[in-house]
Amino acid sequence: MLNYDAIIIGTGQSGPPLARRLTAAGMNVAILERKLFGGTCVNTGCTPTKTLVASAYAAHVARRAADYGIRIEGAIQVNMKAVKARMDRVVAASRNGVERSLKTLKGCTVYEGHGRFIGEKAISVNGSELAAPRVFLNVGARATVPRIPGLDRVSYLTNSSMMDIDSLPPHLIILGGSYVGLEFAQIYRRFGSEVTVIELGPRLIPREDEDISDAVADFLKREGINVRVDSKAVGVEPRGNSIAVAIESAGKRSQVVGTHLLVAIGRRPNTDDLGLDKSGIAADARGYIQVDDQLRTNVAGIWAIGDCNGRGAFTHTSWNDFEIVAANLLDNDQRRVSDRITAYALYTDPPLGRAGMSEREVRAAGKPALVSTLAMQNVGRAFERGETTGFMKILVDRNSHQILGASFLGLNGDEVIHCILDTMYAKAPYTVLQRAMHIHPTVAEDVPTMLDNLQPLQ
Ligand SMILES: Cc1cc2nc3c(=O)[nH]c(=O)nc-3n(C[C@H](O)[C@H](O)[C@H](O)COP(=O)(O)OP(=O)(O)OC[C@H]3O[C@@H](n4cnc5c(N)ncnc54)[C@H](O)[C@@H]3O)c2cc1C
């Protein structure tokens, strides 16, 4: 048995920074990675998709060049091999950076293999047995593959295998009209594919407010994406070189035939092959490891951080998990998961930036609220840029004047939302933001103006 002060399984968004903090505190640390250093975000999530979003945006703007008085001779062509090469370069730089930093970290031993519990705090990897009084699980999640008859007979894609594509899919069918599916939908439509999105629920991104879902569906449809909501995929079969997906919608059956099929219906934690039972670690019915407000599992000395604890599904929540664990363990600073405010973005163009509660959540909570919305058409910067799709919405508590939440669907919405988020963290009343002088011309300059126009939420 090889003894360490701490073992970290997984090199996602919280494992590597935690290794740095623990070794800096003098601990002897083992970190395990079974596949790609940097995990989902770096290799098959945020980083590659955002490089694709950038390439797709370039193609889109090039097609619109005439709107800006620019003439481009000939048709706009997308070189998929070059798009992929660019993505691979950016991803490799990040992945290699994580790998190098861990392998050169003093006090840290890297094991490249699958870790599995063989005892309460004992783990086997590549035939070695490791033990430590502290174990941190940063094992992440992977795409959920639904049980649809025939799916196993076609070569469907997930967010991971999408990264291998270096030619244009003539017709990409996407199962799932939520965050991951919609980003890929717009990316590939802009590259030139025909795209069909099949969503089970009555609208896209069902977690968002209806007006947001409608606006997103509207601009995706305007770009030529086929959106099928209220549609259940009930069967899949190979059809020559194509794939046929049978759909049931309002009792009626129909079929969509495409060349590629992406499954993007959700994520499941990588905990089924971790030997949790050997340690006695409790997980819920879906496999998410149960943790308390400081991310401790039911087994003393074992923490679960990142997507595998079901308390967040983002790079920033995983990173925040690292900060919470490090603060409690090393800094005598009792940070908690419940201190954080919901925040995330959908990277369509325009993007959706979200902070705090949605309008639906405010209504469900029965909070007396004020609301203000502003169409991006009335935002000077968006008008100047010729990118006026979307709207911004802010909700404020009528009594406390604290901001309850915001949804910014529009140019730079993923950035501008931070002025809301930071005001919420400061627990300042909205009037502080209302009186702030913002820079002209920006999208953010309209946020104080929006707060001049708050109306009771009916
Ligand atoms: C297509 C897509 C786009 C996304 N875009 C965004 C975005 O724009 N912004 C955002 O905030 N989030 C985004 N996310 C989510 C984000 O990628 C994850 O929330 C983030 O990577 C956090 O992951 P993590 O730290 O929990 O672990 P992960 O990054 O999933 O890493 C876990 C690591 O553990 C390793 N591992 C697992 N089991 C074992 C084992 N038994 N032994 C050894 N190693 C093991 C895995 O190989 C993996 O490397 C996106 C996700 C997807 C799928």
Residue range 215-259, pLDDT digits in tens: 999 999 999 999 999 999 999 999 999 999 999 999 999 999 999
Residue 359 — very low, low, confident or very high, per pLDDT cuts 50/70/90?
A: very high
pLDDT more than 90, % of the chain: 100
pTM confidence score: 0.98
Q: What is the pLDDT of residue 19?
A: 98
Q: Is the CB of 352 under 6 A from ligand 1?
A: no
Q: What is the pLDDT of residue 65?
A: 98
Q: What is the best residue among 8, 33, 46, 417 to mutate for testing ligand 1's pocket, by most ligand atoms within 8 Å of CB?
A: 46
Residue 152 — very low, low, confident or very high, per pLDDT cuts 50/70/90?
A: very high
Q: Is the CB of 159 under 6 A from ligand 1?
A: yes
Q: Is the CB of 313 under 6 A from ligand 1?
A: yes
Q: What is the pLDDT of residue 395?
A: 98
Q: Is the CB of 178 under 6 A from ligand 1?
A: no
Minimal-distance CA residue to ligand 1 atom 1: 45
Query: What average pLDDT is seen over the chain?
Result: 98
Distance 337 CA to ligand 1 centre (A): 19
Distance 306 CA to ligand 1 centre (A): 8
Distance 453 CA to ligand 1 centre (A): 40
Q: Is the CB of 114 under 6 A from ligand 1?
A: yes
Q: What is the pLDDT of residue 327?
A: 98
Q: Is the CB of 318 under 6 A from ligand 1?
A: yes
Residue 77 — very low, low, confident or very high, per pLDDT cuts 50/70/90?
A: very high
Q: Is the CB of 117 under 6 A from ligand 1?
A: no
Atom of ligand 1 nearest to the CA of 46: 5
Distance 181 CA to ligand 1 centre (A): 16
Q: What is the pLDDT of residue 191?
A: 98
Q: What is the pLDDT of residue 48?
A: 98
- Whether residue 431 contacts residue 412, with contact meaning beta carbons closer than 8 Å, is answered with no
Q: What is the pLDDT of residue 182?
A: 98
Measured distance between the N- and C-terminal CA atoms of the chain, rounded to whole angstroms = 65
Q: What is the pLDDT of residue 66?
A: 97
* SS3 annotation, the chain: CEECCEEEECCCCCHHHHHHHHHHCCCCEEEEECCCCCHHHHHCCHHHHHHHHHHHHHHHHHHCHHHHCCCCCCCCCCCHHHHHHHHHHHHHHHHHHHHHHHHCCCCEEEEECCCEEEECCEEEECCEEEECCEEEECCCEEECCCCCCCHHHCCCECCCHHHHCCCCCCEEEEECCCHHHHHHHHHHHHHCCEEEEECCCCCCCCCCCHHHHHHHHHHHHHCCCEEECCCEEEEEEEECCEEEEEEEECCEEEEEEECEEEECCCEEECCCCCCHHHHCCCECCCCCECCCCCCECCCCCEEECCHHHCCCCCHHHHHHHHHHHHHHHHCCCCCCHHHCCCEEEECCCCCEEEEECCHHHHHHHCCCEEEEEEEHHHCHHHHHHCCCCCEEEEEEECCCCEEEEEEEECCCHHHHHHHHHHHHHCCCEHHHHHCCCCCCCCCCCHHHHHHHCCEECC
Q: Is the CB of 348 under 6 A from ligand 1?
A: no
Distance 40 CA to ligand 1 centre (A): 3
Minimal-distance CA residue to ligand 1 atom 47: 35
Q: What is the pLDDT of residue 411?
A: 98
Averaged over 173-184, what is the pLDDT? Answer: 98
**Structure confidence by residue, pLDDT tens digits, 437-454:** 999 999 999 999 999 999
Averaged over 140-147, what is the pLDDT? Answer: 97
Distance 344 CA to ligand 1 centre (A): 15
Distance 16 CA to ligand 1 centre (A): 13
Q: What is the pLDDT of residue 308?
A: 98
Distance 199 CA to ligand 1 centre (A): 24
Q: What is the pLDDT of residue 212?
A: 98
Q: Is the CB of 32 under 6 A from ligand 1?
A: yes
Q: What is the pLDDT of residue 206?
A: 95
Q: What is the pLDDT of residue 390?
A: 98
Could you give phi then psi for residue 114, rounded to 5 degrees?
-85, 125
